[in-house]
Amino acid sequence: MKNVFFIFLLFWSSNACSPTAQEYLDRGVAKGKLGDHRGAIADFNKLIELDPGDASAYYNRGVSKHKLGDKNGACLDWSKAGELGLGEAYEPIREYCN
């Protein structure tokens, strides 16, 4: 019985300590809304590591980069989001990148 408990505890603690892609997205968006754009970018970077095909991660990272004055980085991220199928990414590209 002790071995079963240990395995459960090990499984539970490893899952409890590693945020999911959705949690990184939610946390990044929340940090961005609070004005912590550097923190938001860090969360979006982790999300992109976990799921490089997540268009919303690139889009939102682009928003935070734009807020920090990194126009080139923002435009690259929005472009990547558009390539991944997020049509709304082309709106800020038209407004800020051309």
Full-model pTM: 0.83
For 51-98, the pLDDT digits (tens) are 999 999 999 999 999 999 999 999 999 999 999 999 999 999 999 998
Tell me the CATH class for 19-97: mainly alpha
For 13-28, the pLDDT digits (tens) are 445 678 999 999 999 9
CA distance 71 to 63: 10
Please check the confidence at residue 11 and state whether its pLDDT lies above 60: no
